[in-house]
């Protein structure tokens, strides 16, 4: 394949496979139900665990209601559907909350920490690339490329290499997201929407800033120079 054919293959964006209307409706309500249920359980951390679960379940059922009574209707108008990455992260967090602490869980959490840090950095970079693409800083549309088959193939290769290099459960998360995207094309038919959404990108940056502030606090102020 010559260089022109190679770039033509990478820029190929037709045909774009989009999810059906019913699948979109289910993904919208179910995705926001999981995200809001996780958020409520996190905010209710001072309550008894059974009350935390009860509140989260009530919000989840409320979000699954059809029509304007559901908060998913209004959140969908403002933010569309949450990414598959956000939904799987919330499901993993909920699973961790209901899981009993053990030595194996502690060791697996330690091995997953580095993978999660790398995923955090990759998510921040991808978000900035998409933002600059929105501002037309690139000669071609990076977001539109996400509808193409080559974009999915490149993402799968990168995710597979990341999983093989890390070997942790957290490193398999991008592969799970991409597998769900290939099967159902959720949430919008664009691979970047499956891997990242604006709210997740903001949360990643806030988490990174908090971690930097904590490290600076641990280090403390620099020692003052003494004059002889």
pLDDT (tens, 9 = 90+) of the chain, 228 residues, equals 444 554 454 555 555 667 777 788 888 999 999 999 999 888 887 777 788 888 888 998 999 988 888 999 999 888 888 999 999 999 888 887 776 544 445 555 556 778 888 899 999 999 999 999 999 898 888 999 999 889 999 999 999 999 998 888 888 999 999 999 998 888 888 999 999 999 999 999 998 888 888 888 877 655 555 554
Residue 133 three-state SS: helix
pLDDT attached to residue 101: 44
Q: Where are the domains positioned within the chain?
A: 17-98+114-212
pLDDT attached to residue 15: 59
Give the CA distances from residue 146 to residues 7, 104, 142, 191, in Å, rounded to whole numbers and listed in that order. Answer: 15, 38, 7, 5
pLDDT attached to residue 143: 92
Contact present, 53 and 38 (Cβ < 8 Å):
no
Per-residue pLDDT tens over the stretch 67-83: 888 999 999 888 888 99
Q: How far apart are CA 120 and CA 123, in angstroms?
A: 5
Contact present, 86 and 35 (Cβ < 8 Å):
yes
pLDDT attached to residue 34: 92
Spell out the residues 6+ positions from residue 84 whose beta carbon is closer than 8 angstroms to its own. 177, 180, 181, 186, 187, 194, 195
pLDDT attached to residue 8: 52
């Amino acid at each position: 394949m010559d260089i022109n054919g190679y770039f033509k293959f990478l820029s190929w964006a037709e045909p774009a496979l989009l999810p059906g209307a019913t699948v979109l409706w289910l993904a919208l309500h179910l995705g926001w139900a999981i995200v809001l249920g996780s958020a409520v359980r996190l905010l209710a951390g001072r309550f008894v665990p059974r009350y935390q679960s009860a509140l989260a379940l009530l919000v989840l059922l409320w979000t699954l209601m059809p029509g304007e009574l559901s908060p998913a209707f209004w959140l969908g108008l403002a933010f569309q559907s949450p990414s598959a990455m956000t939904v799987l992260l919330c499901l993993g967090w909920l699973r961790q909350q209901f899981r009993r602490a053990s030595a194996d869980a502690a060791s697996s959490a330690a091995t997953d920490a580095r993978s999660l840090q790398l995923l955090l950095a990759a998510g921040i970079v991808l978000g900035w690339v998409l933002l600059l693409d929105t501002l037309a800083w690139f000669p071609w549309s990076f977001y539109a490329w996400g509808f193409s088959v080559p974009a999915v193939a490149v993402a799968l290769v990168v995710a597979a290499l990341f999983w093989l290099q890390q070997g942790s459960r957290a490193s398999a998360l991008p592969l799970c997201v991409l597998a769900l995207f290939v099967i159902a094309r959720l949430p919008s038919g664009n691979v970047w929407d499956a891997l990242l959404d604006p709210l997740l990108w903001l949360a990643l940056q806030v988490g990174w800033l908090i971690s930097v502030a904590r490290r600076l606090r641990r280090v403390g102020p620099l020692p003052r120079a003494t004059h002889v």
